[in-house]
A and B are shown apart, each in its own frame.
Chain A
Amino acid sequence: DAGVTQSPTHLIKTRGQQVTLRCSPKSGHDTVSWYQQALGQGPQFIFQYYEEEERQRGNFPDRFSGHQFPNYSSELNVNALLLGDSALYLCASSLRLAGGLKETQYFGPGTRLLVL
């Protein structure tokens, strides 16, 4: 059973460019959340997708956008990259039940983005 997978593993971009990161959730999961982890910091929530819609959003500008596909996979897009966008981007998947999320969110290995 494959866990959460993310691609690419590493990415180097220059300021002003656009980037797309991809995530495939754990088999059976339908909810995908994205987090940004700057060096030496804890992960910060970007947004969450369920049923192909953005359900919750953290304190991130509109330059950060996403998408969820019918197969539950998801993309994170960042436009007009800034140096401060350099970070590890983590995807987490879970299963939404009637009473709430499944207990544990499973995290992928992350995509390391470097903006020069």
Chain B
Amino acid sequence: KQEVTQIPAALSVPEGENLVLNCSFTDSAIYNLQWFRQDPGKGLTSLLLIQSSQREQTSGRLNASLDKSSGRSTLYIAASQPGDSATYLCAVSGSGYSTLTFGKGTMLLVSP
């Protein structure tokens, strides 16, 4: 059974800092990995998707890497802003038809 762990559970940083969120998964036979953002009480917004054959994806200030063999992914946020404050969720898909297995998320607070 796939298990996804995210570290740290919560993170508080001052504006402008670069930061790294970590995600690990127990079964390396994944189809893809996604990072989502969730604002309080809201749905999920997909940030980045990495196929199992890829090593990283970038979107603006966000960069996600994937090391499938070691079961790890990192989300790097450059020059953090207060608007980045949210919960970040990592999820893996075991096959093209399978569903997502989520971690519990990292709650990020960026203070001005």
Give the B-binding residues of A (Cβ under 8 A): 4, 33, 35, 40-45, 48, 55-56, 58, 88, 90, 92, 96, 99-101, 103-110, 112
Contact = CB atoms under 8 A, between A and B. Distances in A.
Contacts of A108: 43
Interface of B: 4, 31-32, 34, 36, 41-46, 49, 51, 89, 91, 93, 95-105
A42 B98 contact: no
Contacts of A90: 43-44
A71 to B, nearest CB: 21
Interface of A (DSSP majority class): strand
Contacts, number: 63
Nearest to A98: B96
A45 B41 contact: no
Contact of A101 (B41, B96, B101): B96
27 contacts: A33-B99, A33-B100, A35-B100, A41-B104, A42-B4, A42-B89, A42-B103, A42-B104, A42-B105, A44-B102, A45-B99, A45-B100, A45-B101, A48-B99, A56-B99, A58-B99, A90-B43, A90-B44, A92-B100, A100-B96, A100-B97, A101-B96, A101-B97, A103-B32, A104-B49, A107-B45, A107-B46
Nearest to A48: B99
Given A42-B4, A112-B41, A56 B102 contact: no
A65 to B, nearest CB: 17
